Amino acid sequence: MRALLLIPAASLLLCATALHAQGAAPARAAPLQWGPAPAAFPAGAKMAVVSGDPSKAGTFTIQLAMPDGYRILPHFHPTDEAVEVKEGTFLFGMGDTFDAPKMKTMMVGGKGSLPANSHHYAQAKGATVVAVTAMGPFAMTYVNAADDPRKPQSKP
């Protein structure tokens, strides 16, 4: 008789343990590892990889931290790009020429997307962090080659 009572008690204990494990808090994600943004960006920005690998084929997400006034001159990417503002205010415009009066404003929580090869530019208002999701490998082409920070600058 005792053995018959132990079977339901053991089953109840196993179910309670499994339910408790399901309700456990998820493991915390490791803190982002920030470093200087790649040379394709003007000096002064920091970047952290959130997921994936921007240097390889496949989806990746990075966060880009920019100081107040930081500008990225007109450029484009060979793949679609999704942007979400995490901190600060992100200003952006479309076209081949940086035109501050025509820029649109994205606040914290704002999201947007750009199709591949869309010419665009951006500026941070206040310290700003954006998350960018795209397909790798990451590539960035400046509309005006002289704006590319990877190019050696000619001295007067």
Residue with tokens 């007109």: 74
Does some domain include residue 15? Answer: no
* Predicted pLDDT of residue 6: 40
Does some domain include residue 152? Answer: no
Does some domain include residue 92? Answer: yes
Does some domain include residue 21? Answer: no
- pTM (predicted TM-score): 0.78
* Predicted pLDDT of residue 27: 57
CATH number at residue 101: 2.60.120.10
In 3D, which of 136, 135, 142 has the Cα closest to residue 72?
142
**pLDDT, tens only, 50-95:** 999 999 999 999 999 999 999 999 999 999 999 999 999 999 999 9
* Predicted pLDDT of residue 151: 86
Contact 87, 108 (CB under 8 A): yes
Please give the residue range of the domain that contains residue 100. Answer: 35-147
| Residues of the chain falling short of pLDDT 50 | 1-24
Cβ count near 6 (within 10 Å): 10
